[in-house]
Amino acid sequence: MLRNSTLYGLPADIMETDKTLDERRADLKAEAPPLTVEGYPVEGISIGGQETCVIFPTLSVAFDIGRCPQRAVSKEFLFISHAHLDHIGGLPMYVATRGLYRQRPPTIFIPACLREPVERLFELHRSMDQSELRHNLVPLEIGQEHELRRDLKVKAFKTYHAIPSKGYVIYTVKQKLKPEYLGLPGSEIKRLKLSGVEITNTLTVPEIAFTGDTMAGFILDPDNADVLKAKILVVAVFLLIVHMVNLFSIVMLLFRLGKNGWKLFLQACISVYYKQSFYQQKKQE
């Protein structure tokens, strides 16, 4: 990944001159006020070309694994967007650490095209480490869905990066009683259900969408409608800007998201400023 640092607008000698990564990882140990968006606590680290891992603790979900930050280890579901090392480099460590802590094997979602390389990666580490590295690997094609639990599912969507990549949409799934059965006593509803009558409609709501590194093409893709409807859209904005001639695509994205998009955009800006102020104050102390 870092061999192509200029792809991210970074100088070729970034690793020799930039200490941001070490500082940011140290900041993760500070007790920063939690960032909450649309009712979901959000944690993680994202520095272009170095490390990306975005965590939603209440869902036990992590998007990309970076260098395996400690907070990601306890998350049961991991979604890998693509195979650049700043997004996937910590994968073996993530699985190994969960095994060390005697946690259940994680479920790891990857683009389907990465199945064989990732399987070989784990076989190589097993041969060196002499450990099981137990995990459940789920390759997903574009548009393919997978149930995480009864009330939660994921769908992969197309993104536009220099190498094969995919984004993910997390949906909540609820069963809502059909209007014609509203008001019936519980015993009657139970009888209908046991007799095989479909008494509910399934309601799915896109809650969180994660693009990983992508150019702006995903915005205009008609198959990605749910991505823009999600309550939270996590985008690598820096990479988008690098690949844009101007900010037209960002403005278009915000208009497509509607008033909620503007609200989340402003909330993100405020949160970044607030966090930076917090960390600067901590360092001064």
Q: What is the DSSP string of 82-111?
A: B--HHHHTTHHHHHHHHHHTTPPPPEEEEE
Q: Can you give the pLDDT at residue 93?
A: 96
CA distance 182 to 179: 5
Measure the CA–CA gap between 67 and 51, rounded to whole angstroms. Answer: 6
Q: Note the pLDDT tens digit of each residue in 89-122.
A: 999 999 999 999 999 999 999 999 999 999 999 9
Structure tokens at 187: 């015993």
Q: Are strands 232-234 and 152-158 parallel, antiparallel or unpaired?
A: unpaired
Q: Where are the domains of the chain?
A: 35-240+248-282
pLDDT, mean of residues 173-197: 80
Residue 146 has pLDDT above 70, yes or no: yes
pLDDT of residue 135: 97
pLDDT band at residue 21 using 50, 70 and 90 as cut-offs: low
**Measured between alpha carbons, how far is residue 14 from residues 41, 48, 219, 220 in Å?**
31, 11, 30, 33
pLDDT of residue 219: 80
Tokens of 36: 């909450």
CA dihedral 251, 256, 260, 261 (to 10 degrees): -30
pTM assigned to the model: 0.74
Which of 5-14, 43-52, 173-182, 231-240 has the lowest average pLDDT? 5-14
**Predicted local confidence at residue 252, as pLDDT:** 53
What integer pLDDT is reported at residue 269 of this predicted model? Answer: 44
Q: Give 127's pLDDT tier (boundaries 50, 70, 90).
A: very high
Whether residue 127 contacts residue 119, with contact meaning beta carbons closer than 8 Å, is answered with: no
8 A C-beta contact, residue 216 and residue 244 = yes
Supply the CATH classification number for the domain 35-240+248-282: 3.60.15.10
